[in-house]
Structure formats: C-alpha cells, structure tokens
Structure 1
Amino acid sequence: MDDLVTERLVLHPMTVSEAERVVAGESGRDTRWAPGYPTEGDVSAARRLLGTCAISGDPQPFGNYEIRRREDGLAIGGVDFHGPPDESGSVTIGYGLVQSARGAGYASEALRGLLLLARAHGVTCVKGDADHDNIASQHVMTAVGMRPAGEDERVRYFEITWTDTTAHTDPRS
C-alpha cells in the first residue's frame, strides 16, 4: 500500500518490521522519530497490528498508519483502524500525536485523510471515542465531521456515516 499524502503529512502504512521496532522502541535507519514517539498508544496500536498480522495477515488498507511531517520526515504519531469493516460497513478509528506536535491541526488533517481512505474503500460508518476530559480529541472528531453518538461513564462516542461511499475531497460531504 502506498503512503497517503495530505497537505502537511504523510500517512505511512506500518509494516510488520516497523511495528516490531515501535514495540521495541528502536527507530530504524529509514525512519526518524520526533521526541516522545512512540507513545503508549502507538505501542499498543503496533501490538494490535502484529497480532492481526499473525492471525489473519496484513490488514491494509485497514491497518495502522504512522503520521510523519512532510517538512522533516519525523514520525509524530499514529492513526489507525481497529480492524476491517464489520458486516454493516462500520470501522473504528484511533489516533494520537506526541505532545510537541499537538495544537497544530495535524490530528484533524490525519483523521480527514483516514476518513477519505475509508470512504473510498466502501466504509459507511466510522466510529471513535474520547475520554470526557479529552476536549482536544473531541474537537478533532467534530472538526472532521464526526458527531456525538452517545456516552458512558468514561467516554463520549462519535461517528460519521455516509450513504454514498464515492470518494470525495471532503469526508463531511
């Protein structure tokens, strides 16, 4: 699978060897990491990818993507699908950035890219969630067109649905 390129980012599909390096905390010669990368969330997502690959093979395009800045090539976080679409065409996503990359719109830009990819591959609903006190993450999801879809004692749930899965330049349309 090719990299997904947005205005300021490259969403790089993570390979097994890259996931193994993230879990081990060892950057490769071909990848440079921003300070703080990988986060606990990146390591958890890489472990999930390795488990999926071991059981059912490479899940791409519904796997993990390392978020890299185009300007310097540094890995600053990750965005991923938690699995392939279910029988109703729904997927769940997750994302995160290192502390130093937050507040610049990178998470929204990366999530928009992932939503476009999902829509282009026939996904009809994308779901996500954020802790009640994680207002920034809730803002990211609403900024890309996801809407609140409920909550429990710990998190607020968000989703975006489409009836037309034709690829668009704006996932909100």
Structure 2
Amino acid sequence: MTDVKIIETARLRLLPLTVDDARRIVDAAPAPGDRWAEGYPGDGDVRSARGFLNGVAERGDPGAYRPYEIRLLADGGTIGGIGFHGPPDTAGVVTVGYGLVPGARGQGYATEALRALIARAREAGATAVRGDADLDNVASQRVMEAAGMAYEGEDEKVRNYRLVFAA
C-alpha cells in the first residue's frame, strides 16, 4: 500500500481499509478484537467495501483514495465508514461518501471525519472533492456544508456539493 496513512482527528481515527478488512465487512464477519457498533457495517459500508475490492482487482491498490473505517479514539469502536469512491478522475476530482451508525449521528463525527478526509484528498494531490446527498437527507447536506463544500445544484434525486482546492 503506497501513500496510505491512518488519519486522526480530535476524537476519531480513520483507518484505511485493506483487502482483508473489506472482505470482513462484505461478509459481516468481524475479526477478533474488532469493536463494531450496533448497525455496522451498514449497506453503504458493504457497497463501499465491494467497490474497493472490485477497484483493487481492476486497477490495483488506490493508495490514499480508498475507504476508511471511522473509529472512536476513546474506545476504538467502529461507528461508520468514510472514503473515496475511487481514484480522482482525469481532472483530479475525487468523490467522497460517508455514513455513521444511528447511535453515532448528531454528534459532529461525520463533519469531523469529512474535514479530515478532504484534507487527505488535498494532500494526496486531488484538485477537488465532490459529494451528494438525497434531497431529503438534510443532515448529510449540512455535514458537507460544514466541511466547506458548496452546493452545486440538484437533480430529481440528490443535491450535489463540491470543494475546489486553490492552486
């Protein structure tokens, strides 16, 4: 794994997924010592892990542009996932996604994790990050706005957000 780092914030540790981690998430089979919160892995975590496994099989290791488990620093419990949907496109833009177990929502963890992931994208050479949220998912829209992403427009299903890094 090249250019892969654990990301720490004031309250969280974002742990980069390995192929073995992703397989355990897809199989919903925690390893001894894993402290998965109730509701983890969710459907989004499983989709992300599958996408990561497919991407590794097709393109090789994505370096920094992978999914990460969101763990609490206080007790090491996994409360969700965050990460990149794949490597940057030809313009250097990378798409992000995230999700928390219900018991961890409303405490600022998603915003804290997204800010750290955005910083990692910039450090790894991306030119911008984008994301979207369902029209009725106001909480996720607020997370992206609080992390510095700007509303770009919407279609019949989602609101789109983007943050372009200054050169």
- TM surpasses 0.5: yes
Letter of the structure 2 residue corresponding to residue 110 of structure 1 = A
Q: How many aligned residue pairs are there? A: 164
Instruction: Give, in angstroms, the shift of residue 97 of structure 1.
Output: 0.2
1:38 and 2:41 equivalent? yes
Q: 2:14 corresponds to which residue? A: 11
Letter of the structure 1 residue corresponding to residue 130 of structure 2 = K
TM-score, normalising length: structure 1: 0.93
Letter of the structure 2 residue corresponding to residue 144 of structure 1 = A
Structure 1 contact 22–43 (Cα < 8 Å) conserved: yes
Q: 2:106 corresponds to which residue? A: 103
Rounded to whole Å, the distance in 1 between the matches of 2:69 and 2:111 is 14
Q: 2:157 corresponds to which residue? A: 154
Q: 1:167 corresponds to which residue? A: none
1:120 paired residue among 115, 120, 123 = 123
Write out the 4+ residue segments of structure 1 that deviate beyond 2 Å after TM superposition.
Answer: none
2:145 paired residue among 139, 142, 146 = 142
Structure 2 contact 5–64 (Cα < 8 Å) conserved: no
1:132 and 2:135 equivalent? yes
Q: Give the 5 Å matches for 1:54-133.
A: 54-133=57-136
TM-score, normalising length: structure 2: 0.96
User: Deviation per CA, 1:1-38, whole angstroms, max 9, x where unpaired?
Assistant: 23111110000000111100000001111421011100
Structure 1 contact 147–160 (Cα < 8 Å) conserved: yes
CA RMSD in angstroms comes to 0.8
- Percent identity between the aligned chains? 52
Q: Secondary structure at the match of 1:32?
A: coil
Rounded to whole Å, the distance in 2 between the matches of 1:90 and 1:2 is 20
- Of 51-60 and 41-50, deviating more is 51-60
Structure 1 contact 13–60 (Cα < 8 Å) conserved: no
Instruction: Give, in angstroms, the shift of residue 122 of structure 1.
Output: 1.6
Rounded to whole Å, the distance in 2 between the matches of 1:83 and 1:117 is 14
Structure 2: state its 5+ residue gaps: none
Structure 1: state its 5+ residue gaps: 165-173
Instruction: Give, in angstroms, the shift of residue 83 of structure 1.
Output: 1.0
User: Deviation per CA, 1:102-147, whole angstroms, max 9, x where unpaired?
Assistant: 0000000000010000111121110000001000000000001101
Q: Secondary structure at the match of 1:33?
A: coil
User: Deviation per CA, 1:38-62, whole angstroms, max 9, x where unpaired?
Assistant: 0000000000011011112221200
Structure 2 contact 52–66 (Cα < 8 Å) conserved: yes
Q: 2:32 corresponds to which residue? A: 29
